Amino acid sequence: MGLIHELDEATINQIAAGEVIDRPASAVKELLENAIDAQATAVTVEIKDGGISLIRVTDNGCGIAKEDIPTAFLRHATSKIQSITDLLDVSSLGFRGEALSSICAVAQVELITRTPASFGAYRYLIEGSEEKKFEEIGAPEGTTFLVRNLFYNTPARRKFLKSPTTEGNYVQAAVEHIALSHPEVSVRFINNNQTRLHTSGNANLKDLIYQVYGREAASQLLPVSASCDFLSVEGFIGRPVVARGNRNYENYFVNGRFIKNAVITKAIEEAYKGYMMQHKFPFTVLQLTIDHKLLDVNVHPAKMELRLSNQEEIFAFLRDTIAAALGGREHIVQVAPPDAKPILPAAKPAEAATEPAAKSPARTAVSQSLPPRKASEKKPEKHPVSYDAKKAARSQLREEPASYLEPFETKAKQLRPEKRQTETQMELFETGLLTKEAQAGHKIIGQIFDTYWIVEYEKNMFIIDQHAAHEKVLFERTMKRLKQDSIASQSVNPPLIVTLSMQEAEVMEQNLKYFEKLGYEISHFGGREYALRAVPDNLYQISRRDLFLEILNDLMEEKGKHSPDLVLERIASLSCKAAVKGNMHLSVREAQALIDELLTLENPYHCPHGRPVIISMSQYELEKKFKRVL
């Protein structure tokens, strides 16, 4: 018997369905696009359990004629094209004829439809591509699709779906993209009996952006309008202040279809170069109209990709158009009134008398965040760790001729301790720089490049990165307070209102208890807006809003794998944005306060991100560089 055989129709349909319908959002997208192609002016999408148990899409479009209903569920049955030549001029959102056949192959589908010319409506039930019932009923004009128990007959695919909340967010994203691409259609989205979106359908794109993204994004829009022989662009781009740490706000539509294209994405981001920081991405809602003959949309089963035949010209025109909209405008960020600073312990009279009248922001930050070290605080004793002098000598001689090696190996043997240690790397502080007893011997030489401090101690030169050191201090202090449940908050009055995307809101709600433990007080403010009513009390000299969004973006990159310790450590790490930066001048007294606080840390060698805090060079190594010793 041969090994090659033809698959049965049910298997073929399920395989084909997997290319088009991979989650509830895919089914919603296909049904919503069909409704728009049917000239609907109002569409309601309702889901339950993330669309897994129920999807209902109701429109007021032209409906489906009785004789066309069974045919509509066959593979590659479509009213949009007649032959291959029609692919060159496809203008509808759907044209493959795969949507309904793919959905009914993996779900229990009920169709209720009525055309304007029909006196009655028709109800059609199909499950797993098998027709179950076809009857006449009463119903208004238009079409309603009910999709129940998605992937009921493909348990392997259903097992890989995300949680109902996450799948519901994917559905909402799909609905929003289609709503943005067709502002003339009123779209209503209901998730578990709650209306999440309801657009007016008044064809005003700016109003629609407000309804989808909220007041913050809508207030920072710049209009874009340009055209040439092969492309026209209409819509809005956001000012650089609306930038986010991901591409979720980059929306562009080609001939009414939401797609992703590397050329268009590159053109948008190239235009924003010089206006925003690296790893930040702009907000855009752009409608691109391109001659159908220059496109190939038939390259992806879900029609999410397209090819451009003149991509160089499109890239240049789109980049220049967006750059022109950005150029010549004032992008100065409006600064809110300074936050009230917490009351600090009063300085001693002698210290106050010698303190300058004005401080730089960096000096203020350090003086606020580094309280005087108490004399009673002691650091656990650390035993010096010896190092292999032979290897150290070889390291020092790596640039010397081989003829010098033997004398130094002999000297290394004399220096090697009797009991050899397994640790061969020299610890930075085996000389005891960061011990209580060594404090009196510290000799601060000064600051170089407004970033690094040079300290002399027992024939060693230590170079301290002030930013890394301060980060470490803040991180350890925050983690200690977290463990002791002693985090303090400071109220924000009036509350700070932030607008979050669906993904950001989901991550925030999943980790709300950790934010609260850190000192945040967050409440829902309506729609997509949330109110920060309190923040950690150690956020000096930084933007509370930007830090909060950065924490959310960072947690989103972890793809939901959040253990409590990971979340708290990540939030504490990002809270170190309050640390004094490089290129900021500090006084000797402030530097000494920073070094003193390092004495209290168990591991002062690296900042929370793994960068070294201190490096050292011995007097012997320095003299060797100057050839004073051989």
Confidence of residue 567 (pLDDT cuts 50, 70, 90): low
pTM score of the predicted model: 0.59
C-alpha pair distances (Å), 263 with each of 199, 237, 317, 318: 30, 17, 11, 10
* Among 52-56, 424-428, 462-466, the least confident range: 424-428
Give the model confidence (pLDDT) of 183-194 as tens digits.
999 999 999 999
pLDDT mean across residues, the chain: 75
Confidence of residue 282 (pLDDT cuts 50, 70, 90): very high
Q: 552 — alpha (psi -120 to 50), left (phi > 0) or beta? A: alpha
pLDDT at residue 426 is higher than 80: no
For residue 45, which of 190, 197, 211, 150 has the smallest C-alpha distance?
190
Q: Calculate mean pLDDT across residues 80-107.
A: 60
Q: What domains can you pick out in the chain, each with its CATH number?
A: 9-202 (3.30.565.10), 206-326 (3.30.230.10), 367-467+604-625 (3.30.1540), 471-578 (3.30.1370.100)
Higher pLDDT, 562 or 536: 536
First vs last Cα of the chain: how many Å apart?
84
Cis peptide bond N-terminal to 345, omega within 30: no
- Choose from 134-138, 473-477, 490-494, 517-521 the range with maximum mean pLDDT: 134-138
**Collapsing DSSP states into helix, strand and coil, what is residue 457?**
strand
C-alpha pair distances (Å), 95 with each of 16, 68, 78, 84, 336: 16, 16, 6, 11, 52
**Residue-level pLDDT at 87:** 42
**Residue-level pLDDT at 583:** 66
pLDDT at residue 488 is higher than 90: no
The DSSP bridge pattern shows strands 186-191 and 42-48 to be parallel
**Residue-level pLDDT at 563:** 57
Total count of residues recorded for the chain: 630
**Collapsing DSSP states into helix, strand and coil, what is residue 135?**
strand
Give the model confidence (pLDDT) of 375-398 as tens digits.
444 444 444 444 344 444 444 434
Residue 87 has phi, psi (to 5 degrees) of -65, -25
Q: From the CB of residue 296, how many other CB atoms can be counted at a distance below 10 Å?
A: 15
C-alpha pair distances (Å), 107 with each of 9, 55, 155, 452, 486: 16, 10, 11, 65, 52
What is the C-alpha to C-alpha distance for residues 161 and 167, in angstroms, rounded to an integer? 7
**Residue-level pLDDT at 330:** 46
Higher pLDDT, 117 or 446: 117
**Residue-level pLDDT at 553:** 78
Q: CA angle, corner 150, sides to 148 and 154, nearest 5?
A: 140
What is the C-alpha to C-alpha distance for residues 215 and 498, in angstroms, rounded to an integer? 10
Give the model confidence (pLDDT) of 209-248 as tens digits.
999 998 888 998 999 999 998 899 999 999 888 888 888 8
Give the DSSP letter of residue 575: G
**Collapsing DSSP states into helix, strand and coil, what is residue 224?**
strand
Query: Rg of the chain over CA atoms, in angstroms?
Result: 33
